[in-house]
Structure 1
Amino acid sequence: MKSRNILIIAAIFIVAIVGVGACSAGLFDFLGGNNSSNSNLTGQEVNLAAAASLKNVYDEKLIPMFEQKYPGVKVTPTYASSGDLQSQIENGLEADVFMSAANKQMNALANKSLINNDTNVQFLENKVVLIVPKDSSANISSFDDLKKVNGTIAIGDPASVPAGQYGKEVLTNLGIWNATESKMSLGTSVTAVLNQVAEGSADCGIVYATDAKSNDKVKVVCEAPEGSLKTPVIYPVAELKNPKHPEAAKAFMEFLKTKEAKDVFVEYGFTIHEK
C-alpha cells in the first residue's frame, strides 16, 4: 500500500513537471522567444522589390528586425526606381513582395495579373520637397525660384521615376515646368537625384522628404505648396502572384503591418496611410 502511494505521488509529480514545462514553453512562445510557426519558415526566402527611397529603412532597420523575428528566413532586396522594378518584374524578376513609390506601377502590374490584388495595401505616404546642398549660397527659397536658376535642377526621370512624376506634376501645376525643363538633369532614381545635390553637381533637386532626412549634406528649402500636388504620394505594397515561398511572403507582409514596423517607418519620415 505504501509503495502504491509512492507511485501515485511520483506520477502526480511527473504530470506537474510536464504541465509546468508546457506552460513555460507556451509563455516563452507568447513572449516571442520561440514561435513554432517562425521555425517552420526556416530555409525560406523573401525576394523584396522596393522603391529606391525605401533602401535605408529596410537595410538599416526592417530587414534585420524581420530576420531576427524569423530566424532562418532570408530577405533579399532589389532597389530601383518603381518604373524600373515594374519592368524587371514584367520581364521575370524573381520577386515575392513589391513596394512601389506610386500606384501607377502597382496598377500596371495588377492589370497584367502579376499582383495578388487581395494583398494590395495603400500603406505609406511621403512628401515632395525641394532641396539644395547644405552649404549652398544660392538664393532658392521656393519652387518659383527655380525659374531663375542658372545651373542644374536634378529631378527623377518622369518617364519611370515616381518622384520625378510627382515633381513634374508640382512644377506643371505651378505653371513653371516649361520654364525649367531645359535645366533638368534626369536621374534614374530618387537616390540618384539626392546624390547629385549632395555632391554639388546640381544646384537643387526634387526628392521625397524621407530622402532629404537621410542625408546630412542637403537641406530642405520647402515642401511642395498645398494644392500643387493633386496625386498623394502613396506607397502601395503587395505580394506578387505565385511567390516562391508564399508562407514567408505572407509573414513579411504581416510583419510590415505590426506597430513595431510602422513605428520604424515613421522614424524614417514616412506617414502611415490609414485609409
Structure 2
Amino acid sequence: MTVSRPRRAWIAGLALALAAGAVSAALPARAEEPVVVFAAASLKNALDEASAAWTKETGKTSRLSYAGSNALAKQIESGAPADLFFSADLAWMDYAEKNGTIRPETRTNLLRNAIVLVAPKGANTKIPLEPGVDLAKALAGGRLAMGNVEAVPAGKYGKAALEKLGAWDGVKSQVAQAENVRAALLLVSRGEAPLGIVYATDAASDPSVDVVATFPEGSHPPIVYPAALTKESRNADGAAFLSYLRSPAARPFFERQGFVVIGTEKRS
C-alpha cells in the first residue's frame, strides 16, 4: 500500500511526539524552587514552625536564613538572592526601601516584641529597671551581653533603654557586643556574661536563662517586625508565603514564642 506524502509526514510527527513524551516521562519532574527568606535571628523558632506547617499544608518549601537584620539588609543590597525580608525593626526595612531592594507595596508590619534583662539560670538576680538603676554594680566586673548597639535592632533598643534609665554611661565600657541577639543570648546561657539584654521571645526559647526584668515600654522605640518581598524576587510562591505568615493559621506559632501579632492586641 502506498502512503501519501502528507500522511507520511503526519505519521513521522506522531512518532516524534510519542518519543518526546517517552523521554519526558523518564525524566523526574523539576522541583519547584523554595522561597528564600532572610529573617531576623530572633524569629528562628516561630518561623521554623510556621514554615514547616506551610509546607505540610501546600507542599511548597522555604529556605530560611537567619542573622541580624542589619546584616541581612546589607546582603540583599549586595545582590543576595532572597525572596522575602523579615526584619526585627522598622529602621532596616526603611533602609531596604530607600535603597530600592524591596517592593514597598508588599511591606507589612506583622509582630511586636519586648526587651528583657536576663541572667544565667539560677542566678537569683533581682534588678528593678527604673531610672538611676546601677547595672555596673550588678555586673560586678562582668560583661553585659547585647547585640551590636549601632546596628543590631535588639542592641539599639537596649542602648536606647539604658540611656533613658540613665544607666548607659555606667556600663558602656563593659558591654560585650554580639553580631545578633541570639549570639548575645548564648553568652548569658553559657555563663560567659552575668547579664544580657535580649528579646522576651529569645529568653523564652532558652531554658538556661532567667528573666530578671522587662524594660518599660516607654524606655525605647516600639519594637515592630515588618516583612516585605524583595524587588529581585522571581518566585511566585514568595507572595503566598508572606500571605500565610499574615494569616490566622500562622498566628499560634508566633504567639507561642511570645510575640504579639499586630492587629490582635487587647484594648483596655
TM-score by length of 2: 0.83
- Verify: 1:136 aligned to 2:123, yes or no: yes
- Check the 8 A contact 1:102/1:234 in 2, yes or no: yes
Look up the equivalent residue of 1:196 and give its one-letter code: L
Task: Give, in angstroms, the shift of residue 64 of structure 1.
Answer: 0.7
Task: Measure, in 1, the Cα distance between the counterparts of 2:39 and 2:189.
Answer: 23
Give 1:256 deviation, angstroms: 0.6
Match of 2:50 among 49, 62, 70: 62
Change in 2 beyond 3 A, CA 1:226/1:58: closer
Correspondence for 2:261: 272
The answer as to whether partners of 1:125 and 1:234 remain within 8 angstroms in 2 is yes
Report what 2:93 is aligned to: 106
Runs of at least 5 residues in structure 2 that lack an aligned partner in the other structure: 1-29
Quickly say closer, same or farther: Cα 1:203–1:249, change in 2 above 3 A.
same
TM-score normalised to structure 1 length: 0.80
Aligned residues: 231
1:217 aligns with 2:208: yes
Alignment match, 1:172: 163
What amino acid sits opposite 2:194 in the alignment?
Answer: D
What's the secondary structure of 2:145's corresponding residue? strand
* Distance in 2 between residues matched to 1:226 and 1:239, nearest whole Å: 29
Query: After superposition, where does 1:54-203 map in structure 2 within 5 Å?
Result: 54-59=43-48, 61-71=49-59, 73-138=60-125, 140-142=127-129, 144-148=133-137, 149-150=139-140, 151-203=142-194
Q: Report the alpha carbon displacement of residue 139 of structure 1 after superposing the two structures with TM.
A: 5.2
User: How many angstroms does 1:55 deviate by?
Assistant: 0.9
Rounded to whole Å, the distance in 2 between the matches of 1:140 and 1:198 is 18
Partner of 1:253: 242
Distance between the aligned counterparts of 2:128 and 2:65, measured in 1?
35
* Residues 24-45 of structure 1: CA deviation (Å, up to 9, x unaligned): xxxxxxxxxxxxxxxxx96132
- Mapped to 1, the partners of 2:242 and 2:209 lie a distance apart of 33
CA RMSD of aligned residues (A): 1.6
Q: What is the CA deviation profile of residues 157-206 of structure 1, one whole-angstrom value per residue up to 9, with x for unaligned ones? A: 01221000000000011111111101100011000011100100000100
Distance 1:145 1:179 in 2: 7
Q: Which residue, 210, 213, 233 being the options, matches 1:243?
A: 233
Sequence identity (%):
36
Contact 1:134 1:219 in 2 (8 A): yes
Q: In structure 2, what is the Cα distance between the partners aligned to 1:238 and 1:226?
A: 26
Residues 91 and 127 (structure 1), Cα distance of their counterparts in 2 relative to 1, 3 Å cut = same
Secondary structure of residue in 2 paired with 1:260 = coil
Whether contact under 8 Å (2:126, 2:212) holds in the other structure is no
| Distance in structure 1 (CA, Å) of the matches to 2:125 and 2:86 | 36
Matches within 5 A, 1:12-27: none
CA offset at residue 93 of structure 1?
Answer: 1.0
Q: Decide whether the 8 Å contact of 1:142 with 1:221 is kept in 2.
A: no
Partner SS, residue 66 of structure 2: strand
CA shift for structure 1 position 138: 4.5
Once superposed, which parts of structure 1, at least 4 consecutive aligned residues long, lie more than 3 Å away? 137-143
Alpha-carbon distance in 2 for matches of 1:45, 1:119 = 19
